[in-house]
Amino acid sequence: MSSSSAVSTVTPVIKTLKVGLAGCGTVGQSVLTMLHRQKALFHSLDYAVSLEGVYVRDALRPRDFDYPGAVLTDDPHFLEGTDILIEVMGGVDRPLELWMPHLERGGIVITANKALMAERWDAIRKYVENGQVYFEASVMAGTPIITPLATILRASTPIRLEATLNGTCNYILSQMERGQDYHTALAEAQRLGYAESDPTLDVGGGDSAHKLTLLARMFIDPEYALEKVQVRGIDTLPPGAVNEALERGEKIRLLCSIERENGEWVARVEPRALPLSHPIAQADSSHNALMFTGEECGTVIFMGNGAGGATTASAVVGDLISHMDGIPGPKQVSLVR
């Protein structure tokens, strides 16, 4: 007697996601390049990405990216037909005008825009709660922290959080430790593209305050207000402060912290001298570091690149892959801790 068996295979159905990109600066160009290079990975997840267009403020400005056939336009109407809006243009009001109609019709937003997330929380909160907004790239670029806070670390009772979250400030302070004065280090950061022509948001602590507000909403209070963050930037440092700290065996970092004082959570951004052995002090140049301490989990340290086109794009595209895997966007903490 003989027997035979046949193995049947089912050809997977490839689902197409219509994606619109808003913003094509350093990060946006890197996102385009990654979208093109990761097509095989998307296909392995049974997805294909159809880039419907790239919305920019100036479609004529030269750009450098690897995505054949990408169409740049200053007309955003094509976004109306997309499933996913990837927004990396920065700013607050103009991006929000793109977000809202997209979210209202059930679309997905993937963003690196911490300013919008921090300043327009009332407008977008319900969509975050619905899992429609992915924002891993908004705090530490390619170093994951939003997802861990929203998932595995949520089970642990929080004690404190300490971090350095601004690569521009880290670069300036690192150069000052090597002997440059503040103004020379700032000019060098601007020349290299680390700092804007108006560096106030970075050196004044505003960028770090935006990021710290998002972190506060992820693990202590879903309604934590940006205005509650106490902010002092590195532009307030007296001359000689960096060298004096080094002589004491310390380094100054723009420290972001959340901890309890007199029974209330207090969030601060301020220059602080830390021992050389402190993990936050070891974050140099454009690196960021974060320490989360919980009663049950102990101290957990995250460190990695916190700025730059490729590292930020890796988190943006990672969020896209999470969506393909059926994982909703991260949600803020559901109660005041």
3-state DSSP assignment of residue 119 = helix
The pair of structure tokens assigned to 311 is: 């590292």
Sheet holding 84-87, edge to edge: 72-73, 47-55, 15-22, 84-87, 108-111, 133-134
Q: Nearest CA to 333 among 225, 223, 258, 259?
A: 223
Rounded to whole angstroms, how far apart are CA atoms 262 and 270?
A: 20
Task: Just list the catalytic residues.
Answer: 211
DSSP state for residue 293 in the 8-state scheme: E
Rounded to whole angstroms, how far apart are CA atoms 98 and 96?
A: 5
3-state DSSP assignment of residue 307 = coil
3-state DSSP assignment of residue 11 = coil
